[in-house]
Amino acid sequence: MAVAGWDALTVDMQHGTADYAGLLTLLPVIEKSGAAPIVRVPWLDEGSIMRALDAGALGIIAPMINTAEDAARLVAACRYPPLGNRSFGPVRARLAQTGYTVDAANTQVIPIAMIETCEAVDKLDDILSVEGLGGIYIGPADLSLSFGFSPGFDREEPEMLDLITDIQKRCESKNIPIAIHCGTPEYAARMVNSGFSMVTVGSDARFIEIAASSIVTKFRDMDQQSKSIY
């Protein structure tokens, strides 16, 4: 993944299998590739956020941000005083990031709030007013569930497309960068062309699943006599 040429790679500690020990292994590989290291924390939890930052994350994606108070907690956990309440102890970050200082960390770290529920959409204007918020990230699977659709990426329902466009326009009006998780490069390119600042295109697990299924299917189609494949 790291040598593929991504602008950023996210370690998913919410739905992925990585724990903190895995994070300490993965972040150096991401940094060496030149991609920006981002971590999606399991939940809006200051301890998890600060540990990920101390390990070297430059961006924090926090799930299920529903209110301005949630967003303010996220930003505060990513900023050293007087801008926030992050505790000083960058045990690995200070070694991984050249010229590490409190001011540099406060400038470089990007707090990104996931918008995934009806409540978050209703309170989006208040969320966008939180000073220091670095971006909004649409989680289409949970957002779809919240609005009565089956979960999934690359939404095409008119209601969901209108909702995504509304969130985008409200972010743009506040000059807040907006991101969205996509399932295909075609849909991701479409979102970028419509004005999205960042797009996630799939995941390592999905890439493996798709490639493995494709190879096995192709092999069995080519060799009908095959009894097993390894």
End-to-end CA distance of the chain: 23
SS3 11: strand
| pLDDT for residue 227 | 64
SS3 66: coil
Can you give the CATH number for the domain in which 87 is found? 3.20.20.60
Q: What share of the chain is helix, strand, coil (3-state, %, to 5)?
A: 50, 15, 40
SS3 77: helix
Q: What is the DSSP string of 177-219?
A: -EEEEESSHHHHHHHHHTT-SEEEE--HHHHHHHHHHHHHHHH
The one-letter amino acid at 45:
D
* Alpha carbon distance 73, 214 (integer Å): 44
- Give 175-229 pLDDT, tens digit per residue: 999 999 999 999 999 999 999 999 999 899 989 999 999 999 888 888 766 566 6
Backbone angles phi, psi at 158, to 5 degrees: -55, -40
SS3 132: coil
Residue 97, in any domain of the structure: yes
Q: How many domains does the chain have?
A: 1
Which helix (H) or strand (E) segment holds residue 8: the answer is: strand 8-12
Residue 220, in any domain of the structure: no
Residue 83, in any domain of the structure: yes
Residue 166, in any domain of the structure: yes
* Distance, C-alpha 149 to centroid of its chain: 22
Domain that holds residue 201: 2-205
Instruction: Of 150, 94, 116, give the one whose Cα is nearest residue 43.
Output: 116
Active site residues: 15
pLDDT at 5 over 70: yes
- Give 20-60 pLDDT, tens digit per residue: 999 999 999 999 999 999 999 999 999 999 999 999 999 99
Residue 225, in any domain of the structure: no
Residue 222, in any domain of the structure: no
pLDDT at 154 over 70: yes
Residue 228, in any domain of the structure: no
Return the half-sphere exposure (C-beta side, CA atoms, 13 A cut-off) of residue 199: 20
As a whole number, the mean pLDDT across the chain is 95
Q: Which residues neighbour 11 within 8 Å (Cβ) at sequence distance 6 or greater?
A: 18, 22, 23, 26, 27, 30, 37, 38, 39, 40, 57
Tokens of 155: 């939404």
| pLDDT for residue 225 | 60
| pLDDT for residue 152 | 95
Q: What is the DSSP letter of 98?
A: T
Residue 32, in any domain of the structure: yes
Tokens of 96: 């991984």
| pLDDT for residue 219 | 87
* Alpha carbon distance 154, 142 (integer Å): 13
